[in-house]
Amino acid sequence: MKHLAPAVLLSAAILATSTADARPRARAKSFQANKSFGLGLMLGAPAGLSAKYYLGADTALDFGLGVYERFGNRFGRYGGLHFHMDFLWHPVNLVSTPAFELPLYFGIGGRLWDHDDYDDDRYRDDTHLGVRAPIGIAFDFNQVPIDVFIELALVIDIVVDDARHDGFSDFNGAVGIRYYF
């Protein structure tokens, strides 16, 4: 019991000094857009045109129009025109320097995919209508009107005009660049 009291006092002293020296952690800075409308190109799924329109300091509409192809699954090869529109929210800036900002973004939107299906030497035209949930980062340059982005989106098609598919889910990934006017 005699040895317990000094140990408790020592522990209390260490705890008191460590909390007295504790500093608040640096909080991530929120993103404030300094651009309005951008137009550019994206490569990946889909590959084509990309546009972004900022609605406010940290919200935007994102548009994509391009070609989306898939190969090598059990349904054969199919590809065609892909259009998507997403509402994006930029809740936090991962990096903030005088040269660029690095906002993390995520959102929700929809997509329309009209594609040709080549399966067992048969041709079909199918249309998918679905939901997209993108997440990504943008290298938003401060000195030039350009951003570069990397994005991954979960896609779940709700309406599919093909009896072979009850639904369709996939991940789309793209890298792109946009010039802001």
Tell me the per-residue pLDDT of 155-168, one tens digit each, with 9 for 90 and over. 999 988 866 666 67
Domain ranges of the chain: 4-180
Of all residues in the chain, what percent carry a pLDDT higher than 70? 75
pLDDT attached to residue 72: 55
What whole-number distance in Å separates Cα of residue 80 and Cα of residue 127?
9
Whether residue 169 is predicted with pLDDT greater than 60 in this model: the reply is yes
How high does pLDDT run on average in the chain? 84
Q: Which residue has the tokens 């025109």?
A: 81
CA distances from 115 to 70, 79, 172 (A): 10, 5, 16
- Place 22 in a pLDDT band, splitting at 50, 70 and 90: very low
The CA angle 156-132-59, to the nearest 5 degrees, is 160
pLDDT attached to residue 95: 95
Q: So what's the architecture of 4-180 in CATH?
A: Beta Barrel (2.40)
pLDDT attached to residue 70: 74
pLDDT attached to residue 104: 98
Residue 84's CB: how many other CB atoms inside 10 A?
23
Report helix, strand or coil for 9.
Answer: helix
- Place 23 in a pLDDT band, splitting at 50, 70 and 90: very low
What are the tokens at 57?
């300091």
Residue 26's CB: how many other CB atoms inside 10 A?
6
Whether residue 124 is predicted with pLDDT greater than 60 in this model: the reply is yes
What whole-number distance in Å separates Cα of residue 134 and Cα of residue 104?
11
| pTM summary value | 0.79
